[in-house]
């Protein structure tokens, strides 16, 4: 793997991980149709570092929310910083933390089959079809009524529904952010909050996947000569991830996701056509 290849894959990971266009789908297309380095074929540490780069991007962009969730959860369970006499202290950030935990629990269902799901990346026809489905979800999400739920009014039932949708979105080509944001909007949440919840709930998911991949990477061994390329790819994923999150937040406030729907349709159809030709 060259440094240029690593940077390209890092940029794709950072951009497509957060924008609703499927990072797994785009990486599969680059690797299968354009013969770029296969992460599963000896570059497992690189995959770990790409995910770590996107994890850093989320933490950077949502650090105030992460800090509030931590401090309010500690306050809630320890009774620290009680409310003034005659009032009841609210813990919206702690509540969101517990909602994120609830939304993460369904991922346990994926553990026994996650390696088989990964094998679907080898089928670009499947990936193309999943991208088309992602576009359909985004198109439908634009037609839904605007919701008003936030961390103060979101139900734990809503979190479980979004979590189950995240399980489905482990399929390559199906956008995790697009699927969970659509589920959030469908369950009556404010669009901006649906985006924030989707990205924050990805932290435990990405962290868990990174730890599992790190174990496999250590077992497989690491070629020290590739470390510089891996690090360039990680930095590319981190920087492009920060920019992508900023763009997604801006789009959620000012416009709709229709443009991403058309993009997914075009890429999905082209992927299927190229798969059949080559």
Q: Give residue-wise pLDDT tens across range 169-201.
A: 989 999 999 999 999 999 999 999 999 999 999
Helix axes 258-277, 124-143, angle to 10 degrees: 160
Report the range of poorest mean pLDDT among 69-78, 127-136, 179-188.
69-78
State the pTM of this model: 0.87
What is the sign, positive or negative, of the torsion defined by CA atoms of 198, 201, 203, 209?
negative
Whether residue 57 contacts residue 237, with contact meaning beta carbons closer than 8 Å, is answered with yes
Residue 141 lies in a domain: yes
Residue 71 lies in a domain: yes
User: What is the chain's mean pLDDT, rounded?
Assistant: 87
Parent domain of 108: 3-75+92-277
Residue 266 lies in a domain: yes
SS (H, E, C) 202-262: HHHHHHHHHHHHHHHHHHHCCCHHHHHHHHHHHHHHHHHHHHHHHHHHHHHHHCCCHHHHH
Confidence of residue 42 (pLDDT cuts 50, 70, 90): low
Query: Mean pLDDT, to the nearest integer, of 149-158?
Result: 92
Confidence of residue 43 (pLDDT cuts 50, 70, 90): low
% of the chain exceeding 90 in pLDDT: 51
Residue 84 lies in a domain: no
Residue 80 lies in a domain: no
List pLDDT tens digits, range 78-114.
877 766 655 667 788 999 999 999 999 998 888 888 7
Among the listed residues 127, 211, 197, the one whose alpha carbon sits nearest the alpha carbon of residue 159 = 197
Residue 154 lies in a domain: yes
Which residues, in sequence order, are bridge partners of residue 71?
A: none
Rounded to whole angstroms, the Cα distance separating 68 from 269 reads 43
Which residues, in sequence order, are bridge partners of residue 189?
A: 149
Residue 83 lies in a domain: no
Residue of higher predicted confidence among 160 and 121: 160
Tokens representing 225 are: 């000569």
**What domain count does the chain have?**
1
Residue 59 lies in a domain: yes
């Amino acid at each position: 793997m060259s440094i240029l290849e690593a940077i390209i894959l890092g940029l794709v990971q950072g951009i497509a991980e957060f924008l609703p266009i499927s990072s797994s789908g785009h990486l599969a297309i680059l690797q299968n149709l354009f013969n770029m380095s296969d992460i599963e074929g000896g570059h497992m540490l690189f995959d770990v570092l790409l995910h770590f780069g996107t994890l850093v991007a989320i933490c950077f962009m949502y650090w105030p929310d992460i800090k509030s969730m931590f401090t309010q959860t500690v306050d809630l369970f320890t009774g620290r910083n009680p409310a003034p006499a005659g009032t009841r202290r609210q813990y919206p950030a702690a509540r969101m933390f517990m909602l994120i935990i609830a939304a993460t629990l369904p991922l346990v269902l994926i553990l026994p089959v996650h390696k088989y799901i990964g094998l679907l990346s080898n089928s670009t026809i499947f990936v193309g079809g999943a991208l088309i489905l992602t576009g359909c979800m985004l198109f439908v999400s634009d037609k839904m009524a605007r919701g008003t739920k936030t961390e103060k009014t979101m139900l734990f039932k809503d979190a479980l529904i979004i979590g189950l949708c995240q399980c489905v979105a482990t399929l390559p080509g199906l956008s995790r952010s697009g699927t969970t944001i659509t589920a959030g909007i469908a369950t009556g949440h404010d669009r901006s909050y649906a985006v924030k919840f989707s990205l924050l709930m990805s932290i435990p998911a990405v962290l868990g996947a990174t730890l599992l991949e790190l174990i496999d990477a250590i077992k497989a061994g690491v070629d020290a000569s590739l470390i510089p390329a891996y690090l360039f790819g990680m930095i590319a994923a981190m920087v492009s991830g920060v920019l992508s999150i900023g763009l997604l937040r801006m789009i959620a406030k000012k416009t709709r996701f229709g443009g991403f729907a058309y993009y997914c349709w075009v890429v999905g159809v082209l992927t299927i056509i190229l798969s059949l030709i080559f």
